[in-house]
Structure 1
Amino acid sequence: MRSYNRFAILLVTLFIIAAMHTRPSMLTASAQVAIAKSSPTARESTPELRRETFEIVWRTIKEKHFDPKFNGVDWDKVHDVYAPRVNRVKNDEEFYKLLQEMLGELHQSHFVVLPPEYTHKPESKEEVEADLGLSIRMIDDEAVIWRVLPASPAAHAGLRPGFVIREIDGQTVQQISATVKKREESPETTRGRIVDMINERFLGAAGTAARLVYLDGSNHRHNLKIKREVLKGEMSPPVGDFPSILTEFESRRLANGIGYIRFNFFHPILNQRIREAVRSMSDAPGIILDLRGNPGGFDGVGQGLAGLLLDKKIILGTSRSREGFENYIVYPQKNPYSGPVVILVDSMSGSASESFSGGMQSIGRAVVIGETSGGGDLDASVDKLPTGALLLYAYADFVTAKGISLEGRGVTPDIKVTLTRASLLSGNDSQLEAAINYIRKQSSQQK
């Protein structure tokens, strides 16, 4: 059985569940890859089973979508348009593309069909998708390396933040970007999509090589052949039909004792480490929560984190569905931290990251710094389809305590700071520096 694509799984379980952005009737890059790489040896569904599955998908949205007006889309007409096309698909790959195209008519996040092979849980190390250990951000229309994981293939190859990726396996970044820019979406959404597509290309089977063309800090052009490796880290336990995912967690003190906490997913496996980190920073002049690149996850983790930072019971936001609403209630934990809190976000922060940062911002407990988040914040559920595929669909909309919906909008920073290549090359993180300066200013005013 083929290996599952780690990045596609991460995006579908957390990022697509989180930050697909407002989109036209097209797939995200990760969903496109997931479908395009469908196993050719998988058992094909019968035409009858496809028709049955189509009706289930359509009816599920008809009955459970949180908006009875379907974001202004005539959902009955959508059925009439797409139903005849089911009979013309030649295989499951075309069928899943058709279903995704239909869901894309809603122009909302959290509506995805995941083919069966992408719920496969790896049985050996060889089956785990490997990575290069770097991530990029689009800065001035260039794919600039933003973060390099220590001891990763990228680190060993000498790649550094601020270097510019020009080509990946023979395809230029301009070619990759061009397909996204044709959609004429918001700048944040466009950047997020391009980053998604480029990061996807860094992944592959362990031991396979990626061919990169990049510019170093002096703009000298280099050609690099770099092997992908299975990255080290703590794997989360499988959740339902979804495989394990690699979790990252970082906690340390910065200059002047300022606390810094970063984690890559809102996953319950990190609850204890988050709690211990916040507790250990009780004497810090301020705490910085770095949610940049965090696609979201489980809202309960965010509510628990908020309880460590609040001294009274409060509503962080509200989930609204056809059946009614459910408040995101935060209960204060013993001896909560009372100092300044800064949350860092960017265009790759989504879902639970947005619920948490937008909620904390709306109640005045945290200052948000960075760039506007992805704008994909809906509550979603997953159903298994007769073909073995999974249907992800949104059943509720989230609004902050001020009644602001973050879907298609994102969290707007209180202090907007855009990354620059120059700062990354110099080893300075301008967004993190802005957070540090804010806390220093708050501390000086309190003296």
Structure 2
Amino acid sequence: MNGRPFLRMVGVLSLGLALAAGAAASPQARGNPAREEAQAVRLSDIARTPPSPERARLNARVFDRVWNEVRRGYYDPRLHGVDWEAARARFRPQALAAADERDLYQSINAMLDLLDDGHAAASPPAAVRRQDARYARRAVMGMTLMRGDAPDVWTVERVRPGSPAAAAGVQLGWTLDSIDGRSWSPDVETYEGRPVRLALIDEEGARHETTLVPQLMDGPEPFTADDSHPGVLVLTVEQFDHGLGRWLGQELDGLPPDVGVILDLRANPGGRLWEAESVLTCFLPRDQVWATRTGRTGRAVVLRASGDCGGRRHPAPNPVAVLVDGASRSAAELTPAALQEAGRGLVVGEKTPGSVLIAQESDLPDGGRLTLSRADFVTVRGVRLEKRGVTPDIAAPRTLAQRRAGQDPALEAAIAALRRPPADRALAPDRRDGL
């Protein structure tokens, strides 16, 4: 896994669905007084208990590895204007004084937040273990958390049917206030049969307290196909993981050319760049240029549709629509952008957040993991999607009430669009240019 290009969103944490790695960083806006004040309060709690000598030495190794990786390998040699030496002087004493991995990773991620980069994050060992076991049978509570713009605010993005969270009545949109009396952090681990006390806050501000007992559940399927809609095949991709291109090619084999294909990339945090190339190879002419990436040295590398689409020699002729939302990031943004610019697919849903730098993961001395942007990315038309995102051809927002009720206006809009005659669903030129 190390050294391979990733396009990863680092603000999603799964406690049962295992969609993506947990992390303690998200896009930050520099100069935000409220955020800086909250960060200062959070860091003021660090080192209330002095660390053991062994802990302090490990803290130093982890912090120094992260600091040096950024200094030597971050895609922008100017580090977005951040004084990295000053950052070291500010945060290293806090990191070395951390009594446990929670305090250590809070201080490290507070430093990484200075880069204003949604990919730059350090995941603690517990979060790495969850990520690596995301599709395995394991003890879960059964909910996926999404981190918002406010620091340390995690919202329930999904609740897994049949899970302890579903049985307890946990609802989409609630925020997790505490677990066993402590604020939530990705370093928390759960175990089969060991009860956990949760406090959640609903959208009206009411507090809900419940006790869940994590239970063993099979891991979710990373890719699923649904042919229950006449004339349409819906392919849901939870994450751009290994084997996606081959799976997609197999699903397209033998599919009648008049059957519409819907790629559901909502709440997809991204993943492997190679798999994004493979998805595009399923729909674009082989070797067609779709983007350019530029690393720290400034050398531009052209990206082509040359991945593995299950051995297919030619792109699928089927009409295509891609579903996206505000939680579709990285590979789940560049894929619809490439199809949209090529006039090969309709994008339906909500504007994406614009978190599209190309990152790599590297292991840290304590078992944690650093995700760091190593290259910038622009589309074939020269559009830089970072901080800009992808604008749908068909806007179809989905309210919280609709999600709870199982209603899906974006899927309905995509199905309706693909069922129209080709001339009526063609992309307008101004929309193709308006990413």
For normalisation by structure 2, the TM-score amounts to: 0.71
Residues 332-341 or 84-93, more deviating? 84-93
1:291 corresponds in structure 2 to 265
Contact 1:319–1:327, Cα closer than 8 Å, also in 2: yes
Aligned-CA RMSD value = 4.6
Deviation at 1:111, TM superposition (A): 1.6
Matched, 1:353 2:339: no
Which of 224, 235, 240 is the matching residue for 1:261? Answer: 235
SS at match of 2:226: strand
SS at match of 1:383: strand
1:412 corresponds in structure 2 to 391
Distance 1:11 1:148, change over 3 A: closer
SS at match of 2:140: coil
Q: Distance in 1 between matches of 2:215 and 2:329?
A: 27
Distance 1:170 1:439, change over 3 A: same
Deviation at 1:313, TM superposition (A): 2.5
Q: Distance in 1 between matches of 2:215 and 2:147?
A: 22
Contact 1:378–1:396, Cα closer than 8 Å, also in 2: yes
Q: Distance in 2 between matches of 1:92 and 1:156?
A: 32
Deviation at 1:399, TM superposition (A): 1.7
1:231 corresponds in structure 2 to 217
Match runs of 1:330-409 below 5 Å: 330-331=305-306, 333-409=312-388
Q: Distance in 2 between matches of 1:144 and 1:77?
A: 33
1:109 corresponds in structure 2 to 118
SS at match of 2:217: coil
Matched, 1:310 2:296: no
In structure 2, what residue type is equivalent to 1:7?
S
In structure 2, what residue type is equivalent to 1:334?
R
Contact 2:363–2:369, Cα closer than 8 Å, also in 1: yes
Q: Distance in 2 between matches of 1:22 and 1:137?
A: 12
Deviation at 1:92, TM superposition (A): 4.8
Matched, 1:325 2:300: yes
Number of paired residues? 384
2:250 corresponds in structure 1 to 276
Q: What runs of 5+ residues in structure 2 fail to find an aligned partner? A: 1-11, 37-41, 149-153, 426-435
In structure 2, what residue type is equivalent to 1:63?
R
- What CA deviation, in whole Å up to 9, does each residue of 1:117-155 have, x standing for no partner? 4444899x99934032578999xxxx9987654544566
Matched, 1:59 2:68: yes
In structure 1, what residue type is equivalent to 2:285?
D
In structure 1, what residue type is equivalent to 2:91?
Y
Matched, 1:79 2:54: no
Match runs of 1:90-109 below 5 Å: 90=99, 92-109=101-118
Matched, 1:128 2:138: yes
Identity of paired residues, percent? 26
SS at match of 1:265: coil
Contact 1:9–1:118, Cα closer than 8 Å, also in 2: no
Deviation at 1:297, TM superposition (A): 1.0
Match runs of 1:172-187 below 5 Å: none
Q: What runs of 5+ residues in structure 1 fail to find an aligned partner? A: 28-32, 177-196, 216-220, 234-245
Contact 1:250–1:263, Cα closer than 8 Å, also in 2: yes
Distance 1:344 1:427, change over 3 A: same
Matched, 1:21 2:27: yes
1:239 corresponds in structure 2 to none
- What CA deviation, in whole Å up to 9, does each residue of 1:293-352 have, x standing for no partner? 111111211211211112342122122102322222103842421232111011221122
Deviation at 1:71, TM superposition (A): 1.6
Matched, 1:205 2:212: no
Which of 429, 435, 447 is the matching residue for 2:414? Answer: 435
Contact 2:356–2:386, Cα closer than 8 Å, also in 1: yes
SS at match of 2:293: strand
Contact 1:202–1:210, Cα closer than 8 Å, also in 2: no
In structure 1, what residue type is equivalent to 2:240?
F
Distance 1:23 1:281, change over 3 A: farther
Contact 1:165–1:213, Cα closer than 8 Å, also in 2: no
SS at match of 1:268: coil
Contact 1:131–1:230, Cα closer than 8 Å, also in 2: no
In structure 2, what residue type is equivalent to 1:21?
P
Deviation at 1:369, TM superposition (A): 1.0
Contact 2:176–2:199, Cα closer than 8 Å, also in 1: yes
Q: Distance in 2 between matches of 1:58 and 1:364?
A: 42
- What CA deviation, in whole Å up to 9, does each residue of 1:69-100 have, x standing for no partner? 21222223323433454555455543332222
Deviation at 1:292, TM superposition (A): 0.5
Distance 1:214 1:394, change over 3 A: closer
For normalisation by structure 1, the TM-score amounts to: 0.69
Q: Distance in 2 between matches of 1:271 and 1:97?
A: 36
Residues 206-215 or 65-74, more deviating? 206-215
SS at match of 1:391: strand
In structure 2, what residue type is equivalent to 1:62?
R
Deviation at 1:363, TM superposition (A): 2.3
Distance 1:256 1:47, change over 3 A: closer
Q: Distance in 1 between matches of 2:317 and 2:165?
A: 39
Q: Distance in 2 between matches of 1:147 and 1:47?
A: 38
